[in-house]
Every structure is written in structure tokens, then in C-alpha cells.
Structure 1
């Protein structure tokens, strides 16, 4: 064993004709294995059920259908028109497309609003008529949602009604590639038992529920644990419901894979294993951090990784896309490009051994968080250990620190332009509206861009819902919005009122706290309104007031 130290009021058709951008010049296969698994009828039924939950009896005024042939290029489309008896007829290329198209109609024709903060659903009667066919489409194959940290900052204690509400929100906002990490520890327990670990070894490894995000990323172990068996049972039941509902909408859930993070007990069974003990993380001493990481080149890595992914596919099914992250906020033991390429090749091999169609979804956070280590040769080596088009990189903090811009679009691997926005689940007014309003369009228009999607990757949610409504809507736009007009219409939807003072207030917010332009700023929120009382509080201002454009 080696040791390493870590260092959208009114009918506004002009706003609704959301056009399609020209496809980027891609140098990789089309990722055709990543497609909705549910039938067209099942997806339509899921959207109809969503509308029943959202609108009650008014849902009968919408007729929903799904027709995959509406799209000829894998890019989602929804068409809406008025039918008899004031009904709205919605046809989407997927359930998500239909739900998102209907929500666009509810926003811009009915002045309705659905958010984490509550709903404003005073739907006009009869429903406003459409004069022709309203066609809404997206230039983005994938619309990704969540961060591996979100579970610990926001959703760890959720029950099924709260998850049902969130998945409905995802569908309405066009999300088709959500992270689905719930219940994975129950499967890990079975894998480790089959390998010969006893229960005490396993209990020493898992952290408590609130800290599982960092346990999964090899940042810590044991802290807040052990996990009771009732936790495993309940989380498994929850995951089955989550996956069934996501897939019913035509979403493609991202499931977990093996990164090399192992319990210390593995060393008792396999003392010959090539295991590195990492250094301390985030001021935790080695009683709770300094995790043990199995070298992906060791034959045991393929054995464990294949066992685990086999359990994942057996229990959860598969949509052929998996997430795991190597070296998260940890420095690799070697900067040799040959070593780094071998690492990613081995991690990917543990996926394809179980699922030959596997695609690895990887967070690109490491390239930013440890920029001193990850220079172009190292980044290229890690990325090119996987065939082009079999890895998708999340450019996790692209609104502020876009990695694609200095890596030639991740050296040919497809990537998703993501807005991180929130660190640590902090609450407080914050946004970068000018950046998110322009960044994705610039990235997609670059020569040889490998951008295949747009994403939202906040560490914590249920805060600043206006930013997430804007961001999700931009995924269906062909060009940036006029922010002043957009926020004025948002105000009417949110409050169900055209009061001038409301619009004026939100314009001020969009020109100040929601338009941070400080270079390289990470929103850890220094507002005294949401910080613990202190005589030595850091309240450095990040606001440079500007007029929204």
C-alpha cells in the first residue's frame, strides 16, 4: 500500500418560436444508445398524470401524445395547437418534450408558474387559443440535472412525495438526463459481503446519510455512520420509484459506477492489492478521511467494478450511462500521461465488461479544482483513455470557469455546458444572468464544438428559482433572451400580477445581485443575512450593479 498526500403576461408568440441551431461539427459517434426506454404511449400517460397532479380537473383540457418521428435528429420537439372545445393538443418527440412544451404554453399564454418556492396556477378559462401550430425545439441533445453533492445538501431526507414533485419539475423544465444515485449503498453492501467483508468492515466504511456524497467520492468514510439496515431497504424502495417515474417521462437516468473507493477491510482479504491511502480532506483527520483507493490497473478493480455494475444493472436496469469520478479534489499519485490514460481506460473497462454500450459521464470539476496538476497533457491523457464519444464530460462550472475553452472542447470528447451556481447549499440572492444567457450559445457556435447538452449542477437546490427557470428555458432557445423583458414576464407569472413595483424590483435584482460579474467568483455567499452570527464575519460584496440587457 502506498500513501499520497492531498493537497417566460400575455400572448407572446415571438417569445415562443424557439428555433433550432445548426448542429455542431462532431467528431464522435452519435450516442444512439442513449434514448428513452419507455413506449410512446407510456410517456404520454406519464405527462397526462403529471398534469392531473398539477392542474387537477383542468388537466382534461390538454390532449397529450408522444411521437418519436416528430424529431429526425435526436433533438427534442413539441408541437401544440388548439383543438375543439378549447382543448390544447400537445405532441412531443418524448414525454419530456411534451411536458416542457405544455409548461411553456402555461407560462407564456396562461401566466402560470411552478417552482421550488410554490406555484401560481390561476389558469384562464377557457384556455387561451393558439392561432396555428406552435413548434418548440431544442438545439441540445441532453439537458442534465443535479450534482453528486445535491443529495447531501438538499435531498437526503426526501420521501416519495417530494421526489415525485421534483421529477415533475424536471419534466416541466425539459430535463432528460438526471442523476439517479439513491440506494446505491444497499448494492455495495451485497457486493462487499460477496467479497468476504464482514458487517463491521462495511459499517466502518459507510458514512451517515447526510455525508454520503463525500463518502461516495472517497473524501471521507465512517463519519456520522453506521447506516442502519432500514436505511438500505427504504432507499432501495425509493430508487425503484424514482427510476420508474424518470423513465416513464422518457428521461435517461444516470446510474453509479465504481471509482476505486474501497473499505479498509479489502486489505485484509487482498493484502497484495495496489491500494493508495489518500491524504486528509477538508480538515478531517485520518479517523474519517484518508480514504483507501484501489488502483484501476489492479485486476481486483475490474472484479469489484464488474460485480457492482452487474448488481446495478440487475436491480435498476440500465440506460447505458454511468457516472463515476476519479481524483475528486484529490491529487493523483503520478502526473505521467501514460499512467493517467491507463487509469481512465481501466475504469471504462469495468463498465464495458458488464455493459458493452456503456457511456461514462464524468464531472470535469477536477480539471478546475486542481488546475496546478491538470495541465493539457494530463487532461488529454485522462480523456483519451476512453474512445471518443464513449465519455461525456460535465463542464461543471462553465458559467464562470469554462474548461472547454482551453481544452479544445475537451480534446474531442462530447461535453455538457453546465451552470453550477450554488456552493454548499448556501441560501441568498445570487446569479450570473449575463453569463448563462450568452455562454451556452457561444460554446455551441465554436468551430469543432463537441457540446452535446446544457446542464444545471448546483450543490444545493431550493434557492433562487428564477435562475433555474431562466437556465432551463435557455435550453429551448436559439439565441439569448432580452433579460429585461424576460424578468418582467417572469414577475407577472410568479405573482399573477402586473403591478409596476414588482417588475421594477425584479429589474433591480437582475441588474445587481443576480448579475455577478466578478471574475472567477465562487458563490459561497457572504451575506450576513444567512451566516452564523460573528464579530469577525467576512461580508465582502460581490455585486457590481449593472443594467440588465
Structure 2
């Protein structure tokens, strides 16, 4: 079956060692002849032999074997190495993917999840990517070094460039052209250290046979350059930036300089991501103007890389439908040769644009699932809609060349993202059967029937959001909403809360019987489902306060929800604000750096921008310990104590502003973690009877 040692064998061998521990010595790897991606594996006498065309295909084969023959999967929360002492026999299995590429990441992910990751975090994530069939990851880490090098050549000094780049936690929004000179300046040490980290990430991705997508110029320039060029101002969520007119020769020149600097630092796989209109109307309303931007963007890239292919997110066509008419979209797409552009249909699980725009006028395109905006931590999805949506796209006259995940943040709702990535290699004709297998493999075959029953309850509730628009403005809920006397922030409730309560109780019962399981995926799931459970309680108790016109007793009952949820969440580090802030500050080189990093970490998950601007306030709100019992509880206490006062809404706004400023300065107090199973049981015992009241 093997055709000799493969170039990718060492990197897959390293992955196998991290996943399997000593048992990895019994894995044999080799090349597989043929066009495209493919793999084959067989296990005999305790030896697993994998042949593949590339490292990703070999990794998918390993994961398929583990799931089908060992009953274990590798997720974001799996404790590694797996508890295997030998490798069971397996007959010959051969596989080929349904699509050529598996796409991964969104620019926003690099602000909402990964900004403070170190190499250990990235190594784990790249392993996950390989095991799940990701072949085309967006690679943003370290791009600021390329911008610094390019703008230095264009005459700007170090202070001007670092000021333009702004705070490290907001860099991806800078790269998209949405903002500059905010929450910074960028620490000098950050650039060098992330240039090295970005290069290491790319080296590992390429070793697996992935083709990373690097950022490209969007027309966005520093004010110093805009002042002497043909440029226009734009506004994104209250942030003003400057964009060059594509008719100015500087547009192509700067695009080429940035691409050259990036190639010198990081090499290239000839794929470049640029979104010159991401949530911003073009600076010129002429219908031909977007096409001129497209032509200049590609021309700049091709000066540096004649083989450049531009990947663009189709998000503007959805976000600003009034501007992006069918004629405008067609004119824009027609300005680029079909073999020079790849279009990512970013929110295809809810708003598939491929139908509206005739599979993007012949351009290769990617079917992408977004689901998560800003890093929301509550579980919600329409699982049943995924297989039908992907199958319909693959049956189109011009089907997608890839399937991707374009969530704004990761490490949430793993069932949804695992379901999407499974479609890269396999069709899922029966979701219930798929879910049964997912549950058994997720927990290593332990307490399978009890946990399957729990997940059937989740499928009937939070994961059965068929036809609903899953976005922050609709799904914020009381817990992370800004208090108001004139707005009711409770979200839609399409299921019986008692069914959700019973599903959570089943998980708690398993955790009590086998506490060791809470160190892995079960711990994540207990916290995630607990958030959904307590969110319904909070919504209900909020209404009790409103209906009682601010009765102090009802207010105290409402505020206790925040305190109790905070205590439960403190049991999992990834559900704590302190973990997030500590990761940020770990990159500091001195007090000044620490101040910027600490501010960025606090700001983006609360007020987002400035406390005076409400446009993105709470957009990335997290159900995290340190926030629930502190930041959010304190805001709602101000609201609860203000009922009946003259000018209550105006006074509340002032006091919330003061509270925001206090948090940005002081952060959250230290936590004392407890036992997750115990704290979950305490919450369930205290609150389950309230959900019997059902939807209100």
C-alpha cells in the first residue's frame, strides 16, 4: 500500500505522538500515488499503516481510524494523549474528500480567540486542523511585521507605523481596513515576537501540505499618506479610516510593497485575502468603482507575485444589500479573471449568497459556516440544517471547491463545527446517527447511553434552532445585555426549557459518577449547557423584576443568578476572564506593554471601542467567571436599584459609563475555582424547578 517515505511523514508522526503517546510507535506512514487528495489505512497485529497523498489526508485517516475503530475522537477539549495501550485491527479503508479544500478562520477569529496564543496553543490548533481536514487556513499572525517593513520603505518612521497599527488585540480589524490608531500603540516587542511565531505557524501548516492564505492590501492607508494622495474617508462602527482611490498609482505600489515584504518574511502559497469593502460602502458611488478597486488590488498583488489568487469574503454582499445590487456585484466580480479570485460565502448556513449570485459568476467559491459572532459562549445552532445546506451547494451547477469554517471565534459549540468539517470528506445522510456516533466518540465510549439521551435533549432545544437568525442582536439575552428601562433584552425561546434542564441533569449525573471525565469534553459541555440553562433562569427572573416594578426582593433573586453562575464557570479556566487577561499580559515586555495588553483584553469583550460609543458595546460579551459575578452583575444592580427614580434612563447611562471605566482600570477580582460537578449540581438543585414554567 505504501509507495515509500513521504515528505510529510515527520510532521504527521509528531502529531501521532501528541495524540497517541507511546502507541504512536506502532503507526507506519508512507506516500500514496494519485491525483488530488486521498488516503488509505489498514491495521494488523497492532500496527496501523497509513498511506496518503499529503499530510492532511494522512491525519484525516488517523482520525477516522480512531473514531471508527477505537471509539475516540480528538476535539478542542480532548485530554491528550488518548488512553490507548494498543491499536486494534481494522480492514482496509480508502477515502477521498468531497471537495478539494477545507477552509478555516475569519479575520475576526484572530482578535476574538487567538490574539494572545503562544506556540503551544497554535501547535494544538494546527493538529486539530489537520485531523479535521483543513487544507486552506487564513494565516494572519505576524502580518503587522510585513506592514511595518512596507511602510518603513514608504517613508514612515517606527512611531508613526506602530501608532497606525494600534493595539495588538485589534490588529485583524486594522488589517481589514476597519480602524487604525486605536487602543495602542503596538508594543515594539510584539512585532518581532509575532513575526517569529507567524513564521513558525506557517512552517507547520505547510509541512502538513496546507496552503495558507496571507493578508493583502485593502486600500487602507495611514493619514500621513492619505494627506498627500487621492483618498477618501470611510466610517466603520464609528471609526474613521482613509482609503486610496484605485486610480492613484500609490494604490498598486503600496499593495505590491506589502506583498513583497510579506513574501520576504513568510514566503507565499500565492493565496491572498483582502476585503476592501468589509462593512463599509465604497468611497465612490459610481457603479464601476468597485471594479476599479478589484483591478488595482489584483494588479498590486501580481506585481509582487505573478501567480497571486485573491480570496475575498462575500460578507459585504449580505451585510449591505441595499448597496450591493446584483448589477454591482456582477460588475465587481467580472473585473477579476475567474482563475484569479476565490470567493468565501461566509454565512452560508443561514444566508447562502451562492444562490442569489449564480455561484458567483463562475468564480471558484467556498461554502462556509459562521455561526459564532464575537465569541458568544452560549450553545445554539441549527444542526439539522447543515447537511441539507451543504448537499444543496454540492449539487449546484458550479459547486463549491471547498467547505469552510468562518466563525468569528472558536472553541465554542464544537458539535456544530465538527459536523461541518465532517462534510469535507463524508456525506451525512442521517443526522441522528451522526450525533449518536459523535457522542460515543467525544467521551471515549463511557456512559454512552446516558450521554446520548442528554444530547438528544440538546438537539431538541438549543441545537434545534431551525430557520432562526443566530446573531448577537437576536441572541444576546439578559446575562450579557446592557441594562435599560426601555428595552427588553430577552432573546427568542423556541423550545421547552424543562427539556434543556433534563439534558443538563443527565450530564451532571455522569460527571458525578465519573469525575475524571470533567477534565475533558464533558467539562466543557457541562459549562456550555449550564450557561444556556442559567440564561433562561436569568431571563425569567428579569421579567419578575420588571413586572414587580423593581421589587428589592425580586431584584436580589435576579442578581443571585449572576453570582451562582460565576462560581460554576470558575471551575473551567477557559471560562474565566482571568485566563484571557493573563494570556494577554504574558506578551508584555515591561509595564507600558502590560498596560496596553491589559486594556485590549478588557476592552474588546466589554465596551469594545470607547465607553462613550455604544455601537459595538457588549458585541463580544462572554459568559465568563469574573464577568458574570462582577462586571455584568454590577451593571444589573445599578439597573435594579434605579426603578422609580426621575430620569432613570439617563442616570443609568451615566452610572454604567462609570462602571465601564472602573472595569477597564481594575479588571476582575481573583477567583477560587471549585469542583465543576458539585457546582453544576448546586445550580441545578437551586434553579431547575423554575424552568418548569416553560416559555414566557
Same fold, judged at TM 0.5 (above): yes
Counterpart position of 2:161: 202
Distance 1:229 1:274, change over 3 A: same
Using the TM superposition, name which of 200-209 and 343-352 deviates more. Answer: 200-209
Counterpart position of 2:11: 46
Per-residue CA distance 1:296-329 (angstroms, 9 max, x = gap):
2210111111111111111111111111111110
Counterpart position of 2:302: 352
Q: Tell me if the contact between 2:60 and 2:130 (Cα under 8 Å) persists in the aligned partners.
A: yes
Instruction: State whether structure 2 residue 42 is matched by structure 1 residue 81.
Output: yes
Counterpart position of 2:492: 541
SS of the residue corresponding to residue 253 of structure 1 reads: coil
Match 1:429 to one of 376, 379, 393: 379
TM-score w.r.t. length of structure 1: 0.86
Q: Where in structure 2 are the equivalents of 1:87-486 lying within 5 Å? A: 87-119=47-79, 122-131=82-91, 133-268=92-227, 271=228, 273-279=229-235, 281-282=236-237, 284=238, 289-447=239-397, 449-477=398-426, 479-486=427-434
Distance 1:499 1:355 in 2: 53
Kindly state the Cα deviation for residue 386 of structure 1 after the two structures are TM-superposed: 0.8
Q: Tell me if the contact between 2:219 and 2:243 (Cα under 8 Å) persists in the aligned partners.
A: yes
Distance 2:194 2:5 in 1: 29
Instruction: State whether structure 2 residue 19 is matched by structure 1 residue 58.
Output: no
Distance 1:507 1:222 in 2: 48
Kindly state the Cα deviation for residue 247 of structure 1 after the two structures are TM-superposed: 0.4
Q: Where in structure 2 are the equivalents of 1:515-526 lying within 5 Å? A: 515-523=464-472, 525-526=475-476
The count of aligned residue pairs is 492
Kindly state the Cα deviation for residue 98 of structure 1 after the two structures are TM-superposed: 0.5
For the pair shown, the structure with the greater C-alpha radius of gyration is 2
Per-residue CA distance 1:394-416 (angstroms, 9 max, x = gap):
00000000000110000111100
Kindly state the Cα deviation for residue 165 of structure 1 after the two structures are TM-superposed: 0.5
Q: Tell me if the contact between 1:383 and 1:410 (Cα under 8 Å) persists in the aligned partners.
A: yes
TM-score w.r.t. length of structure 2: 0.68
Q: Tell me if the contact between 2:20 and 2:82 (Cα under 8 Å) persists in the aligned partners.
A: no
Kindly state the Cα deviation for residue 120 of structure 1 after the two structures are TM-superposed: 7.0
Per-residue CA distance 1:96-146 (angstroms, 9 max, x = gap):
000011101101211112222233765554322123x20121121110000
Q: Tell me if the contact between 2:338 and 2:362 (Cα under 8 Å) persists in the aligned partners.
A: yes
Mind listing any 5+ residue stretches in structure 2 that lack a counterpart?
A: 500-696
SS of the residue corresponding to residue 392 of structure 1 reads: strand
Distance 1:160 1:209 in 2: 17
Distance 1:529 1:58, change over 3 A: farther
Distance 1:533 1:86 in 2: 60
Q: Tell me if the contact between 1:517 and 1:543 (Cα under 8 Å) persists in the aligned partners.
A: no
Kindly state the Cα deviation for residue 519 of structure 1 after the two structures are TM-superposed: 4.2
Distance 1:545 1:517 in 2: 15
Counterpart position of 2:654: none
Distance 2:468 2:292 in 1: 35
SS of the residue corresponding to residue 422 of structure 1 reads: coil
Q: Tell me if the contact between 1:66 and 1:98 (Cα under 8 Å) persists in the aligned partners.
A: no
Distance 1:470 1:94 in 2: 23
Kindly state the Cα deviation for residue 542 of structure 1 after the two structures are TM-superposed: 5.0
Distance 1:122 1:412 in 2: 45
SS of the residue corresponding to residue 441 of structure 2 reads: helix
Q: Tell me if the contact between 2:140 and 2:172 (Cα under 8 Å) persists in the aligned partners.
A: no
Q: Tell me if the contact between 1:78 and 1:93 (Cα under 8 Å) persists in the aligned partners.
A: yes
Kindly state the Cα deviation for residue 533 of structure 1 after the two structures are TM-superposed: 7.3
Q: Tell me if the contact between 2:166 and 2:186 (Cα under 8 Å) persists in the aligned partners.
A: yes
Per-residue CA distance 1:464-486 (angstroms, 9 max, x = gap):
11111111111111x33311111
Counterpart position of 1:509: 458
Kindly state the Cα deviation for residue 201 of structure 1 after the two structures are TM-superposed: 2.4
Mind listing any 5+ residue stretches in structure 1 that lack a counterpart?
A: 1-38
Q: Tell me if the contact between 1:120 and 1:493 (Cα under 8 Å) persists in the aligned partners.
A: no
Distance 2:192 2:80 in 1: 37
Q: CA RMSD in A?
A: 2.1
Distance 1:129 1:529 in 2: 50
Distance 1:124 1:48 in 2: 16
Distance 1:329 1:63, change over 3 A: same
Using the TM superposition, name which of 376-385 and 58-67 deviates more. Answer: 58-67
Distance 1:117 1:534 in 2: 37
Q: Tell me if the contact between 1:167 and 1:246 (Cα under 8 Å) persists in the aligned partners.
A: yes
Higher normalized helix content (fraction of residues)? 2
